[in-house]
Chains A and B, each alone.
Chain A
Amino acid sequence: MTGMEVGLISVVAILVLIYAGMYVPVALGLVSFVSVWYLRGSTEAPIYLLTLAASAGLEEYHYGVIPLFVLMGLLVSQCDLGRDIYEVANYAMRKIKGGLGVATVAANTAFAAITGVSIASASVFARVSVPEMRRFGYTPRFAVGVVAGSSVLGMLIPPSVMLIIYAIVTELSVADMFKAGIVPGLLLALAYVAMIVCMAVFFPKYIGGQDEESLAFAEQQSSLSGKEIAGKIAPFLVLILLVLGGIYGGLFTPTEAGAVGAMGALIIALIKRKLSRSVLWKVLGETGNIVASLLLLIVAATMYSRMLAISGLPAEFGLWLAGTDLGLIGVLIVYVVMLIIMGTILDTTSIILIMVPLFLPVMLPYGIDLVWFGIITIVGAEIGLLTPPLGISCYVIKATLPDKDISLFDVFAGAFPFAVVMLLVLVLLIAFPGISLIFV
């Protein structure tokens, strides 16, 4: 067999094994191991590569960002900051049509700026804002849809673990990826807001709670004094200033920003009396579990990308695509479709780690900006998280909903319009690379 055939069989085998329920890192690592063994004719080369990936490969100062930002995100979720910002957003949006929905998007956007894990946003807002919207007459389908749709903002708005992981795989700077995520994230949030307001004006029945009586009730219930607002917003401003200000201002490396942010979140949690010793220990343990599985995935993916390079598959694949006259846009469309299909069953990290090493050599000859390509990758993979059969965000929301009458079907149906808006935003991002690159 030629190297290319081995590479192709390996990729197919990995996908089949993953779909059949094998641990993703084991599937990636072991299949790659066997392929390199076959291609090189001895176990020496694959053992060397695997050891390099697992030991020297992980000894990277930059990988420190992952545990620290995960820790910060989990601490922040512990502080009830999600509820606080939602109350403020409600108050600010009380006069707008579909205000509670708009507030959910706004609160998620702010929350995304202090956490890096979107599963955290999904579970926090499923508990905080769905019951609130239900209380004021919003339909269950719309309520869960808004939460599902806006949870993906967490992956796009820095600090985000996805931006970090893409930066690691492509050896780009984390700070550059963080700069690139801001405008697309805000654009997506604005597009959601525009859609919600349009829905509230043209299809008030779909959203629910838009009759005079409910609106008056909602407005009357939402009252905050200036002091309360300041108290609820202050922790956000402090954390955003520390972390993003520190990175963009050139004061901190991203790793340091993660450590300072985690410390800030810890202090806020202590001040708000949300942190006992046992809760802190639980948060640290959870951080460890997430970090171990994320980084093992990176180890396996490093092995996988070495295997691909040895097999020569990406280069051949690139030549083949170049010969099909698809052009850059055509190749990108193929890529995005593949991302969306994979996103329906896999988590975003795994998708990035499988697809990027395969497509990067294909994209390089087009001379595109890799930062821009990263944003497209993340948004494309995230669309799948909102679509059936297995959109992960939707499952998380279903699992954390206090209201058991809302079915999984409702979550998917509710998320669908948001997935469509995401796709439209993705088209814009592809058409206008400047949106992603404005600050880079």
Chain B
Amino acid sequence: MNNKKTSGKFGVAKAFELWVMALNNIGTLWIFLLMLLINADVFARFLFNRPIDGVPEMVALSIVGIVFLQLGDAVRAGRLTRSDGFFNKVVARRPRLKLALNIFYDLCGMAFFVAILVGVYPIFIQAYQGGYYAGTEGIFTVPEWPVKLILVISCVTVILVFFTLLVRHIGGLIKSGEVE
């Protein structure tokens, strides 16, 4: 209804949403390319007896990239696995309890990804400065740092997504307090 107004008012929030979607779309495209790559490898092997070098390495690195690029959107869309049947029943008539619990879960989510970030950041720096690569020298090699960078960027993004959920849930809690 008042889309224009909100996009002006919450420019940062809107830009962040687009960012999360962009990461997700890169991951999405990546899955498709991965499928094409493996098919090309299989066909090259059967038809010309000449497999494409480095496909297993590319697949292995791709999985990490795909998963982390898509995590932000999965969190935003509420697609992380949770058992909400029991939760929804218990809190159905207690909206404030539901909000309070959600705030707790958002904070835990942030903490979890901060822990991952603290671990992967030094790994990215090492891979970048040390020039690490995957594969076998002389046949096929691919530098490791781009995927580690994706890990770092994605962790920061997921933390921020949890933060936006947190802000929304806290806002809801304050509002429900005012109503009472």
Contact = CB atoms under 8 A, between A and B. Distances in A.
A54 B24 contact: no
A295 interface: yes
Contacts of A50: 115-116, 119
A395 B83 CA distance: 12
Most central of A20, A60, A290, A390 by chain B CB within 10 Å: A20
B151 A263 contact: no
Interface of chain B, helix or strand or loop or mixed? helix
A46 B101 CA distance: 26
Contacts of A73: none
B108 A292 contact: no
B31 A22 contact: no
Given A284-B28, A296-B80, A389 B85 contact: yes
B83 A345 contact: yes
A21 B112 contact: no
A276 to B, nearest CB: 15
Most central of A21, A22, A48 by chain B CB within 10 Å: A21
Interface in B7-57: 24-25, 27-29, 31-32, 34-36, 38-39, 41-42, 56-57
B148 interface: yes
B56 A61 contact: yes
Given A47-B115, A259-B42, A289 B73 contact: yes
B61 interface: yes
A288 B70 contact: yes
A61 B55 CA distance: 9
B81 A260 contact: no
A58 B63 contact: yes
B141 interface: no
A55 B120 contact: yes
B123 interface: yes
Contacts of B118: 47
Contacts of B24: 285, 288
B170 to A, nearest CB: 18
B87 A21 contact: yes
B105 A23 contact: yes
B115 to A, nearest CB: 6
Interface in B56-90: 56-57, 59-64, 66-68, 70-71, 73-74, 77, 79-88
Interface size class, chain A: 35 or more
A55 B28 contact: no
Given A59-B61, A259-B35, A291-B70, A18 B83 contact: yes
B111 interface: yes
A256 B66 CA distance: 17
A33 B116 CA distance: 10
B172 interface: no
Given A64-B34, A295-B63, A345 B86 contact: yes
A24 B115 contact: no
A292 B108 CA distance: 18
Given A54-B119, A71-B31, A255-B38, A292 B67 contact: yes
Interface in A221-243: none
B108 A22 contact: yes
A20 B101 contact: yes
A58 B59 CA distance: 11
A175 to B, nearest CB: 16
Interface in A382-411: 389-390, 395
B28 A281 contact: yes
Nearest to A72: B35
A291 B66 contact: yes
Nearest to B79: A289
Interface stretch (A144-152, A208-216, A346-354): A346-354
B42 A55 contact: no
A30 B108 CA distance: 7
A288 B26 CA distance: 10
A252 interface: yes
A60 B60 CA distance: 5
Interface in A263-302: 263, 281, 284-285, 287-293, 295-297
A107 interface: no
A63 B81 contact: no
A293 B38 contact: no
A287 B123 contact: no
Contacts of A64: 34, 38, 59-60, 62-63
A51 interface: yes
Contacts of A26: 80, 105, 108-109, 112
B81 A293 contact: yes
Nearest to A353: B81
A289 B25 CA distance: 11
Given A54-B119, A288-B73, A22 B82 contact: yes
A59 B38 contact: no
Contact of A288 (B66, B84, B85, B123): B66
Contact of A61 (B28, B32, B60, B101): B60
B98 to A, nearest CB: 9
Interface of A: 18-27, 29-30, 33, 46-48, 50-51, 54-55, 58-61, 63-64, 67-68, 71, 252, 255-256, 259-260, 262-263, 281, 284-285, 287-293, 295-297, 345-347, 349-350, 389-390, 395
Given A55-B119, A296-B80, 6 more contacts: A22-B82, A24-B82, A47-B119, A51-B119, A64-B34, A287-B28
User: Which 9 pairs across A and B sit closest by C-beta, in order of nearness?
Assistant: A21-B87, A51-B119, A259-B38, A292-B70, A390-B85, A288-B70, A292-B74, A24-B81, A64-B59
13 contacts: A24-B83, A26-B112, A47-B115, A51-B123, A263-B39, A284-B28, A287-B31, A288-B70, A291-B66, A291-B70, A295-B67, A296-B74, A347-B83
